[in-house]
Structure 1
Amino acid sequence: MLQFKKSESTSLKSSATGSSGRKVSSGSHTTEKISTQKRKTLSASPTTSDSVVKPRPRPSDRLNPKTIDPFGVQSRAPSAFAAIYSKGGIPCRLVHGSVKHKLQWDCHPETLQFDPLLITLAEGLKETRHPYTFVSKEGFRELLLVEDAAQKAIPLLPRLVPVLKVALSHSDGEVFERGLNALVQLSAVVGPSLNGHLKHLLSSLSKRHMSKRFKEQTTDALQKLEQHGGKESLTIIKSKIPTYCSISS
């Protein structure tokens, strides 16, 4: 009887040990599986330190700061005038002086054809970046100073006036001022020949004439347009801008 109980006790212990062994083995297998998955995840994803590593600044960076090259490649596409200028389509270049800038022409302006150069320079009046702003403004002015400028410019008025209207309608105040000065310069050269196209430009002048900032400038320009265009121009100006005060009144 005692032998039976002893053997039964031995079998129960061995049974418990076997069950415990199976449990330990199962738990060890699960732990090993989780560790393997973690290692795979860590190896697949980049470490945080790799993603935020930045090059250290050099001492020479303080002595040689980076500057923006105005003639370099711009992030936006160049305008038509900028593209023509960069390809040498405008026969003049900007010369930086100690006091003020000036243009250097490849040949004398009197030998140049106004078509399409004068129109191209007028299109450049709406530029807002240097050196295109200066080249277009000064080039237009100097080209109209040649001896036979009237004979060359009058046939171009049907194509030139719409281009000037774009500058006069521009939201940028400096572009408007360049367009206004160019219009006065053109009026001084072609005289009454501009009267037939004047009504297309006065709508833009009328809007600026109402503002305090440009009222004096537009008034002065309108008076010069009247002076160069004669009595016919006064009738046209009055029809578009009734508040205009004539130089003769």
Structure 2
Amino acid sequence: MATATASRSSQGKVTVGDTSKKKTKEVTADGFSTKSLMKNAKVTEPPAAGAFKKRPAKPTAFRKFYERGDFPIALEHDTKGNKIAWKVEIEKLDYHHYLPLFFDGLCETTHPYEFFARQGVHDMLEHGAAKILPAIPQLIIPIKNALNTRDHKVVCTTLKVLQHLVVSGEMVGEALVPYYRQILPILNIFKNKNLNSGDGIDYSQQKRENIGDLVQETLRAFEEYGGQDAFINIKYMIPTYESCMQS
């Protein structure tokens, strides 16, 4: 019940004041909850989805094999910088064994593992020819793991590797089409993630580290070298993709 206080003025009039009005305490509530329907409820914002948040990579088999000395490689310095010195001819390597291991190392971000994995993959793709195609099924999980880290550097490195992979041998681009469902979801997330803002200069474009641009380049390469079924499969996974082959 309301309570009232009375006071007498100098003219003898009585005034009544209501003292029952109190400030209602604000209640924090999640959206769409029963509590959010209360008049004094303050609805909290939904948490961030975290689509671009980095995911920690699991220990790689590449690191374990490197530390055991199982790879026929060494670090060589020259006037142009670091490069891999292969102790055997690359063409004679067992691609079923070594290529998936080097792809597994694409998740690495520390030296020298990151350097050896990245450069080793490109060297093997450069000289693999017909040996690459049979190893494609073994490369999908390492590729997916690298992209799923959401790490800017790792994703950029993997996209460049994918561009090299599709042109590394005959039918390789077409062999990747059945695996688009494993590869393309992450590309769909980063498709429009460009670092350009306003009139600012984005130096990442010069270093080819702009994820949005690299995704577009990779999708074009997939379509160009993936055969007649490539576009429709890309479009299914990435509805906003527009063909680069249309006149």
Distance in 2 (CA, whole Å) between partners of 1:150 and 1:229 is 17
Which residue number in structure 2 is paired with residue 235 of structure 1? 232
Which residue number in structure 2 is paired with residue 73 of structure 1? none
Which residue number in structure 2 is paired with residue 246 of structure 1? 243
**Displacement of 1:113 after TM fit?**
0.7
Distance in 2 (CA, whole Å) between partners of 1:79 and 1:224 is 28
For the Cα contact (< 8 Å) 2:125–2:165, is it kept in 1?
A: yes
Taking only aligned residues, the RMSD between alpha carbons, in angstroms, comes to 1.8
Amino acid at match of 2:186: S
| 1:1-249 equivalences in 2 (<5 Å) | 79-146=60-127, 149-189=128-168, 190-213=172-195, 214-249=211-246
Which residue number in structure 2 is paired with residue 39 of structure 1? none
Amino acid at match of 2:141: P
Which residue number in structure 1 is paired with residue 51 of structure 2? none
Which residue number in structure 2 is paired with residue 57 of structure 1? none
Q: May I ask how many residue pairs the two structures share in their alignment? A: 171
**Displacement of 1:97 after TM fit?**
2.9
Distance in 1 (CA, whole Å) between partners of 2:125 and 2:190 is 25
Amino acid at match of 1:103: I
**Displacement of 1:150 after TM fit?**
4.4
Distance in 2 (CA, whole Å) between partners of 1:237 and 1:244 is 7
1:153-204 per-residue CA deviation (whole Å, 9 max, x = no partner) reads: 2222222111101111112111111111111221112131211212220111
Amino acid at match of 1:162: I
Identity %: 30
Q: Tell me which protein shows more helix as a share of its residues.
A: 1
With over 3 angstroms needed to count, the CA separation of the structure-2 counterparts of 1:112 and 1:241, relative to structure 1, is: same
Greater relative CO (CA pairs within 8 A, separation 6+): 2
Question: Structure 2 stretches of 5 or more lacking a match?
Answer: 1-57, 196-210
- What TM-score, normalized by structure 2, do the two folds share? 0.65
**Displacement of 1:116 after TM fit?**
1.2
User: What's the secondary structure of 1:128's corresponding residue?
Assistant: coil
1:69-109 per-residue CA deviation (whole Å, 9 max, x = no partner) reads: xxxxxxxx974322211222121112133432111000110
Distance in 1 (CA, whole Å) between partners of 2:79 and 2:213 is 32
User: What's the secondary structure of 2:132's corresponding residue?
Assistant: helix
- What TM-score, normalized by structure 1, do the two folds share? 0.64
Amino acid at match of 1:183: L
Which residue number in structure 1 is paired with residue 55 of structure 2? none
Question: Structure 1 stretches of 5 or more lacking a match?
Answer: 1-76
Instruction: Decide which moves more: 88-97 or 161-170.
Output: 88-97
Distance in 1 (CA, whole Å) between partners of 2:219 and 2:173 is 13
